[in-house]
Amino acid sequence: MKKNIIIFSTLIAFISISAFTYKKWNSTQNFDLNPQNPQNSVFFDKYLFKTLDNAIYYNVESRFKLTVSKDKLSNPTTFLDTFSKIANESSENISSTSIAKLKEDMLPFKSEDAENNSLNESQIKLLKSLDYQDNVLLKILIKKENPNTGKNVTRLLTHYLTIVPEKVAEYSLGKEAFIDFIRKNTVSETQNIKKDKIGSGRISFVVKEDGEIANLKIDNESKLKTLDDKLLKLLNNSPGKWNPARNALGEPVAQELIFFFGNQGC
């Protein structure tokens, strides 16, 4: 009798846990976002997202990871120092520089070049003409003496960068909540997709001065049209709002952002 009671109690506990799990599973299918309830995200990440074979990548940021604020473009020395220091190189070793504004297809216009460690007038004029969301290709040629051989060595530093406002646009509920919202609402489009069956997708959009989204378009398809179409809908109808970017005077300005998704070199 005692043994039967134990078996029956165990069965009841199992059914209760199963019902709770099923309820939580269904909650991940809702087209909603609640950044105040982190347990939703914990359940999703632990029990659902990490079981997907493809582990779809999602992120939102400037077109290039390297950025420079427009305010810093007025100081040529600071501008060059910033990017030479990224490679742990002294500006004194700069032999030449090349700066080119990129077109919409990310190919450069005619570059402005200088044969020393200072920017010339043409380069400074180009930098000062750049606006928010412009993209630039910067090449810095480094020449220095190898202390072991005494011979000069040459190194070319190539930087792709985006011009950004002094304060960039931000999602009002937080970036993690935004990505969590996207993940939860694209499960049906991605759960059976293998990594090698999806490409690197990119959707560009502009956060306007009033925080509204405009100019949504697919820059690069992911090879999964159902996902591309769903993401366009989600980005255009996400809960919450965007806090607009602001310039050095604190005034709201428009900023382009890129939503990266798919198999981004993972």
Q: What is the secondary structure of the chain as a DSSP string?
A: -HHHHHHHHHHHHHHHHHHHHHHHHHHTTSS---TT-HHHHHHHHHHTGGG-SS--EEEEE-SSSEEEEGGGGG-HHHHHHHHHHHTT--GGGEEEEEEEEB-TTS-B-S-EEESSSS--HHHHHHHHH--TT-EEEEEEEEEEE-TTT--EEEEEEEEEEEEE-SB--EETT-HHHHHHHHHHTTHHHHTT--GGG--EEEEEEEE-TTS-EEEEEEEE--S-HHHHHHHHHHHHS-SS-EEPEE-TTS-EE-EEEEEEEE-S--
Which band of pLDDT confidence, cut at 50, 70 and 90, is reported for residue 1? low
Taking CA atoms, 154 is separated from 22, 35, 146, in Å, by: 62, 50, 10
Look at residues 136, 164, 192 and tell me which one is the last residue of a structural domain. 164
pLDDT of residue 3: 47
pLDDT of residue 89: 81
Which band of pLDDT confidence, cut at 50, 70 and 90, is reported for residue 166? very high
pLDDT of residue 31: 41
**Tally of domains in the chain:** 2
Look at residues 105, 138, 164 and tell me which one is the last residue of a structural domain. 164
- Dist. CA 186–CA 184, nearest whole Å: 6
Taking CA atoms, 116 is separated from 82, 120, 122, 192, 230, in Å, by: 16, 9, 14, 55, 50
Look at residues 139, 164, 189 and tell me which one is the last residue of a structural domain. 164
Asked if residue 50 has pLDDT above 60, the reply is no
pLDDT of residue 265: 56
Asked if residue 219 has pLDDT above 80, the reply is yes
Which band of pLDDT confidence, cut at 50, 70 and 90, is reported for residue 117? confident
Average pLDDT, the chain: 80
213 and 255 part of one domain: yes
Which band of pLDDT confidence, cut at 50, 70 and 90, is reported for residue 13? very low
- pLDDT, greater one: 150 or 231: 231
Domain, as residue range, for 53: 31-62+168-262
Contact 58, 261 (CB under 8 A): yes
107 and 153 part of one domain: yes
Asked if residue 32 has pLDDT above 80, the reply is no
114 and 172 part of one domain: no
Tell me whether residue 16 is in a domain.
no
- Pick the range with the lowest mean pLDDT from 28-37, 109-118, 155-164: 28-37
Q: pTM to 2 decimals? A: 0.73
